[in-house]
Amino acid sequence: MLSTPYYLIDEARLERNLKLLDRVRRQAGVKILLAQKAFSAFDTYPLVAKYLDGTTASGLYEARLAHEEMGGKENHVFNPAFTEDEMAQIVKWCDHIVFNSVAQWRRFRNFPGLPSAGLRVNHGYSEIEHDIYNPCVTGSRLGVPRAFVRAEDLEGLEGLHFHTMCEQGADVLARTLPHFEEQFGEFLLGLKWVNFGGGHHITKPGYDVKLLVKALKDFRARHPHLEVYLEPGEAIALNAGELVTTVREVFDYGLPIAILDASAECHMPDVIAMPYRPPLKGSGLPGEKRYTYRLGGPTCLAGDVIGDYSFARPLKPGQELVFGDMAIYSMVKNNTFNGIPLPSIAIRRKSGKVEKLKEFSYADFKSRLGRD
């Protein structure tokens, strides 16, 4: 059967998120796309397609995946810089494309078969504190600032796009929109669509859905001719998957340590990059329960640490531990550093039945490192 580590996608939780997003779509009169970079478990795309308008891609391969697996739903793509070779493929798969610079738009505006094109702009307003996730930092390479946009540059474009949020509430969007409109409002009349990017934490408990719907409806009332898109990633699969791991060994040289068969560095890289502390079933904060351990992965990296967690009973080798919220930015980002095996992918169907989708092997490690 299934051996650990494996990601376990929760179909019922995924559908719950999708239903909420569908309600926002219908109440606000906007379109919502899955940003595949957060979650691309394509076995679930038919379910996603039931509720959302389509997908957005960060480049060629994600665009192709959506074309192959999303059943003809809208297929948008953005990339900081496309090449001619990529464009020849993208025009076959995508119906919307977002360019990151005026130079790119100039280069591709007459490309045969070009889909509805937009420009990513940078209105310079963001409430993101972590610079690595902030597209509005000084010298940002993402989006064109207002001072560099002239009306004639926009000729032929049908949309504007911004993405300046990360895991944020509707209040942040409500504070962001006036900056966008103040700077780029004069161009909106000539366009067909706008895209407010991702970073909307819509399915997080406590998110103010009413305020989101109001902000979107108010925007649409001001610009009734525009189609409005949101393209969240996280919100689609938030809390809709687990990473099931096994304790390999336990020791204590002044600090109790448990080495797991899952690695933060390889299998949950955002734990280190964000950084954040993933929920772990049946555990407490350090010191909250009787036995506290530092949980780490089986790699050579000193910082391959998931975090400190406490338990009612001592951990034992062979014991399973289940991390929550592991569907997003996990499968799409993992790697085989140190030759660590990739976790399998499984899904818990709505019926409760667990089904294995994919198992990886030594061949997956070797095939990326040379010679066909």
Task: List contacts with ligand PLP (CB under 6 A).
Answer: 35, 37-38, 78, 163, 166, 197-199, 231-235
Would you say 7 and 44 are in contact if contact means Cβ atoms under 8 Å apart?
no
Q: Which is nearer to ligand PLP, 142 or 213 (CB)?
A: 142
Least Å distance, CB 17 to ligand PLP, is 12
CB atoms within 10 A of CB 255: 10
Please state whether the peptide bond connecting residue 275 to the residue before it is cis, i.e. omega within 30 degrees of 0.
yes
Within 157-297, residue ranges assigned H as helices are 170-188, 209-222, 234-237, 264-267, 270-273
Distance CA 153, CA 134 (A): 26
Nearer to ligand PLP, 69 or 231 (CB): 231
How is the chain split among helix, strand and coil, in percent rounded to 5?
30, 25, 45
Q: Which residue, 98 or 259, has its beta carbon nearer to ligand PLP?
A: 98
Preceding amide of 279 cis, omega within 30 = no
Q: How far is the CB of 173 from ligand PLP (least distance, A)?
A: 12
Question: E strands, the chain, where?
Answer: 6-10, 31-35, 54-57, 74-78, 96-99, 116-122, 144-145, 159-161, 193-195, 227-230, 241-252, 256-260, 291-296, 305-311, 320-323, 344-348, 354-358
CB of 96 to ligand PLP, least distance (A): 12
Q: Distance of alpha carbon 22 from its chain centroid, rounded?
A: 18
Smallest gap from residue 231 Cβ to ligand PLP (A): 4
Least distance between ligand PLP and beta carbon 229 (Å): 10
CB of 366 to ligand PLP, least distance (A): 31
* Minimum distance, C-beta of residue 353 to ligand PLP, in the bound complex (Å): 29
Nearer to ligand PLP, 118 or 296 (CB): 118
Nearest to ligand PLP of 259, 331 (CB atom) = 331
What totals of helices (H) and strands (E) does the chain contain, helices first? 11, 17
Q: Which is nearer to ligand PLP, 25 or 244 (CB)?
A: 25
* Per-residue DSSP letter, 154: G
Shortest CB 37 distance to ligand PLP, Å = 6
Which residue has its beta carbon closest to ligand PLP?
A: 198
370: left (phi over 0), alpha (psi -120 to 50) or beta: left
Contact 66, 54 (CB under 8 A): yes
* Residue (164 or 344) nearer to ligand PLP, CB: 164
- Cβ of residue 163: shortest distance to ligand PLP, in angstroms? 4
Q: Supply 95's token pair.
A: 């119906």
DSSP 137: S
Contact of 233 with 36, CB cutoff 8 Å: yes
Length of the chain measured in residues: 372
Please say which residue, 133 or 360, places its beta carbon nearer to ligand PLP. 133
What CA–CA distance (Å, rounded) separates 86 from 11? 33
Shortest distance in whole angstroms from residue 208 CB to ligand PLP: 16
The nearer residue to ligand PLP, 55 or 183, going by C-beta atoms, is: 55
Of 37 and 261, the one with the shorter C-beta distance to ligand PLP is 37
